[in-house]
Amino acid sequence: MKYVLKDLAPRPEKDLFITQYWSDKQSDPPLHFHEDYMLSLTLNVRGTRITGRTADDFTEKDLIIIFPGVPHCYTRDEAYALYECTPVQELAAAADAVRRATVADPTVVTWQIDRNVNITNVCISGCKFCNFHCKPHQTDRAFITTMEQYCEKIDSTLRLGGDQLLLQGGLHPGLKIDFYERLFCGLKSRYPSLRLHALGAPEVAHIARISGLTTLETLRRLMAAGLDSLPGAGAEILDSDVRRAISPAKPSVEKWLDVMHEAHCLNLPTSATMMYGHVETPHQRIDHLLRIRDLQTRCPEGNYGFIAFIPWIFRSTGTELERQGVETRFSPLEYLRIIAVSRLMLHNIPNIQASWLTVGKATAQAALHSGANDMGSIMIEENVVSSAGAHNSFDAEGIQSAIREAGFTPRLRDQLYRMRKYAPQTGELATSLQDA
């Protein structure tokens, strides 16, 4: 963070006003401050303005006054300079300030107890980053989880104080809408308080296609059957070139965005994700964030939209991408940069999650000081990312201890970020106490 005015336009002491015009995005200064009041007018450009602890959209002919000593910068809709040129410590400080101004209690970091259960491992998408899937003809490996198995998993989850199943599977060619309706209804009839955070936009699009339905009809029927929220799975990097390289058979970028928008219009809570560190460029990461931000602006007023954003690292061990020479590109500092930029750019998404599963405890703790306000779930069961080399783990006591070590108070939440009591061994769901 630096005082830049004297570097840009040295002034005589008696001058009252200085006029400075930046016509080129490359010459925009990074996060900085002035010792004097600043009157700022934007012309012929739109983007995001970071001012102190707030981030707001700015439009053409937007006029504001900025007080002395207040850190600020302007990011064009490209936002590339913010990501590539600003030192990570400055990004982290600005993002932390925005987090403190955004969340209800800046001393609190939230966490969750849920279980990631795979509906099936049969998938026709053939994603090159996934070791978990199998083809329909691989009958020796293929499975569909039975109701008895679900009940065993749910009972143990409830005993640990959990309240949710993260239900995901592949694009199974034989599982149409009626299968999922029976599954969701069956689970809800046995466990009416259990939250179903299930499927993802690619699965919804696939189910709709093989069932002869629109995606909107499919979402409505799934919600009627018991779907409580829709994960951001299958986003990867929202770029057509990247998608062709890593998951060519998966529904398109446009389809992912369309399904999510339909979910928002139906007031179905969702999350947004980004899997990075494979074949994408830094600019494609930023474009991904912009697509997420812009989609959130289209959410009907008063509806949930994206509740949280979760970026995580591609893990390459044993994947087809690894066999093609693509290895995990992971740096803790780069992850902190992504967390910070996410908080600054995604000012319309309230929660940013640190993905401890893929980056480890220490980096996740640092992310809590770089814009993240949530540590995610202990993930009693997780198969897909683990199969590609992510072997970090937490139990309930461990994740709370990690949050405290980072200087925060841990609070258990549900999928809607409502606070819950931690009540293991009871076999009953704790009631929500208040909105986060």
Predicted confidence (pLDDT) per residue in 326-361, tens digit: 988 889 999 999 999 999 889 899 999 998 888 889
What percentage of the chain has pLDDT greater than the value 90? 57
Mind listing the pLDDT tens digit for each residue in 124-137?
Answer: 988 998 887 888 88
Encoded tokens for 139? 């009958």
- Note whether 314 and 404 are same-domain residues: yes
The domain boundary, picked from 77, 97, 122, lies at 77
CA distance 359 to 54: 28
- Note whether 126 and 18 are same-domain residues: no
Residues 6+ apart with CB under 8 A from 61: 41, 42, 43
DSSP strand pairing (32-33 vs 409-412): unpaired
The DSSP H or E segment spanning 275 is strand 270-276
CA distance 349 to 272: 9
Q: What is the mean pLDDT of the chain?
A: 85
Which phi-psi region, left, alpha or beta, contains residue 417 (left: φ > 0; alpha: ψ -120 to 50)? left
- Note whether 112 and 73 are same-domain residues: no
Domain count, the chain: 2
Q: What are the φ/ψ torsions at residue 32 (nearest 5 degrees)?
A: -155, 180
CA 7-11-16 angle, 5° bins: 130
Within-domain flag for 384: yes
pLDDT of residue 46: 66
CA distance 395 to 377: 9
Mind listing the pLDDT tens digit for each residue in 45-81?
Answer: 667 777 776 767 777 678 888 888 787 776 655 577 7
- Note whether 63 and 201 are same-domain residues: no
pLDDT of residue 7: 46
365 and 381 in contact (C-beta within 8 Å)? no
Within-domain flag for 329: yes
98 and 370 in contact (C-beta within 8 Å)? no
Within-domain flag for 171: yes
Within-domain flag for 310: yes
Encoded tokens for 179? 């299968």
Mind listing the pLDDT tens digit for each residue in 142-200?
Answer: 999 999 999 999 999 998 899 999 998 889 999 999 999 999 999 999 999 999 999 99
The domain boundary, picked from 77, 93, 121, lies at 77
Residues in the chain: 436
The domain boundary, picked from 27, 58, 77, lies at 77
Mind listing the pLDDT tens digit for each residue in 362-392?
Answer: 999 999 999 999 999 987 864 544 444 445 5
- Note whether 33 and 160 are same-domain residues: no
Rounded to 10 degrees, the C-alpha dihedral 295/304/73/33 comes to 180
The yes-or-no verdict on residue 119 having pLDDT over 60 is yes
360 and 392 in contact (C-beta within 8 Å)? yes
- Note whether 70 and 200 are same-domain residues: no
Please identify which residue in the block is written with the tokens 């300030």.
97
Residues 6+ apart with CB under 8 A from 243: 236, 237, 250, 252, 253
User: Out of 41-55, 87-101, 236-250, 363-377, which region has the weakest mean confidence (pLDDT)?
Assistant: 41-55
CATH classification at residue 196: 3.20.20.70
Q: Distance from CA of residue 213 to its chain's centroid?
A: 28
Taking residues 263-291, report their average pLDDT: 95
**Domain with 33 in it:** 2-77
- Note whether 17 and 155 are same-domain residues: no
- Note whether 71 and 129 are same-domain residues: no
Within-domain flag for 201: yes
- Note whether 261 and 326 are same-domain residues: yes
Within-domain flag for 100: no
Residues 6+ apart with CB under 8 A from 106: 99, 100
Mind listing the pLDDT tens digit for each residue in 292-301?
Answer: 998 998 999 9
Within-domain flag for 86: no
- Note whether 228 and 298 are same-domain residues: yes
Within-domain flag for 99: no
- Note whether 25 and 138 are same-domain residues: no
30 and 85 in contact (C-beta within 8 Å)? yes
364 and 357 in contact (C-beta within 8 Å)? no
- Note whether 212 and 113 are same-domain residues: yes
